[in-house]
Structure 1
Amino acid sequence: MSTIMSWLARVSLCVALATPAVVAAPATADTKSPKTSDLQCLSEALYFEARGEGHKGQQAVAEVILNRVDHPKFPKSVCGVVNQKGQFTYKKSRIREQGAFNRAQKIAKAALQGAPRNLTNGATYFHTGGVKPSWSRKFERTTRIGSHTFYRSDRRLASN
């Protein structure tokens, strides 16, 4: 009987010592976890707008969307920015490349969790090389990454 009691005492001690770590785990979990809707909207935007770009190109598009969220001229949520009429050219359709979507989702999650926004110099607009929107002549060009050119809307260029 004493062998069983000794074994139970050791098991109980192990369980007691291990339990606080298990209970404490949620408290140490990432507190900056993005809202599910923001993550979905940003992931879809990156997938449909920039899935052909590299990691840096997708990060830059995520920056533009988040810069817009922070700008007083645009909606205050990721989904509000992404779904704003006339702003993004993609039409939601079926996600056909799950691997590309998973990559976009990882980039979106990092961006929403506060990854540095230092690729576009505060850009709030972008376009692909295949188009030349009229607004591109009015705003300051900040950079070109992959097939996208990025612009800031807070510094208007002089029109002579």
Structure 2
Amino acid sequence: MRLHTGWITGAIAAVILNGAAFADVTVSQSNDPTAAIGGTLGGLLGAERQALNALPEGRLTELAVGPKVETRTTPGKAAAVPALIRYDMAWLAAQPEPVGDAQWECLSKAIYFESRGETLRGQFAVAEVILNRVDSPDYPRTICGVVEQRGGGGCQFSYVCDGRADRMRDPEAMWIAERIARVMMDGAPRTLTMGATHFHTRWVRPDWARRFPQTAAIGAHLFYKQP
């Protein structure tokens, strides 16, 4: 009986020593490679389990479902706009009710007076030009400043100097213009005009149109980018 017990003890010791030795080598010498792989995998899973048990519950939840993403909004602004937009009435109607400040009103009026009657793409394109100018060091830094800019004996946008009251009388066109203005101010992509800073109708030909490269033609307007 003592001999049998000693034999078992020796066998256990040999297994433990062999396991310890295995941890220090990169190639198993076992005739059964699946046994070595199983032992290694078991060790790795055990270490991983210990590491996971040491993490706080909140961190485990984050690893399982991903980090919480918070959307920040500015007071007076709608929710963030998707990276991709559709230029159709159904998509526009699905956006939150627009609200805004004086800058939003300036952009809404510019879209209304410069492009009402155009397709949605045409109206979005006019909004792009105005916002591209705001981003350019060659123009005022605000939407109202860009829209109301004067020089050379006239205005950059003709409706500002036509002597008429800038009142949006068409409810449907105003509804569209206000939503486009809100969406664009909230960061909708400007992909229609390729960075255009100028536009004109097809039946006029201003001097600058001969010098600036044309970037797009949408509806009744041609678009250009100032070099």
- What range is the shorter-chain TM-score in? 0.7 to 0.9
Are 1:100 and 2:173 matched, yes or no? yes
Q: Deviation of residue 30 (structure 1)?
A: 3.2
User: Aligned ranges for residues 1-160 of structure 1 at < 5 Å?
Assistant: 30-31=73-74, 33=77, 35-85=100-150, 86-91=155-160, 92-154=165-227
Moved over 2 A (4+): 27-32, 91-94
Stretches of structure 1 that go unaligned for 5 or more consecutive residues are 1-26, 155-160
Percent identical pairs in the alignment equals 50
What RMSD over aligned residues (CA atoms) do the two structures have, in Å? 1.8
Structure 1 residues 29 and 89: CA distance shift in structure 2, 3 A:
same
Measured in 2, the distance between the counterparts of 1:35 and 1:104 equals 13
Greater RCO structure (CA 8 Å; 6+ sep): 1
| 3-state secondary structure, aligned to 1:118 | coil
- Structure 1 length-normalised TM: 0.75
Q: Which amino acid aligns with 1:141?
A: Q
Measured in 2, the distance between the counterparts of 1:147 and 1:119 equals 14
Structure with bigger strand share is: 1
Measured in 2, the distance between the counterparts of 1:149 and 1:94 equals 26
Q: Which amino acid aligns with 1:114?
A: G
Q: Deviation of residue 94 (structure 1)?
A: 2.5
Q: Deviation of residue 48 (structure 1)?
A: 0.2
State the structure with more CA Rg. Answer: 2
- Structure 2 length-normalised TM: 0.54
| 3-state secondary structure, aligned to 1:127 | strand
Stretches of structure 2 that go unaligned for 5 or more consecutive residues are 1-69, 78-98
Q: Which amino acid aligns with 1:120?
A: T
* 8 A contact 2:134–2:143 mirrored in 1: yes
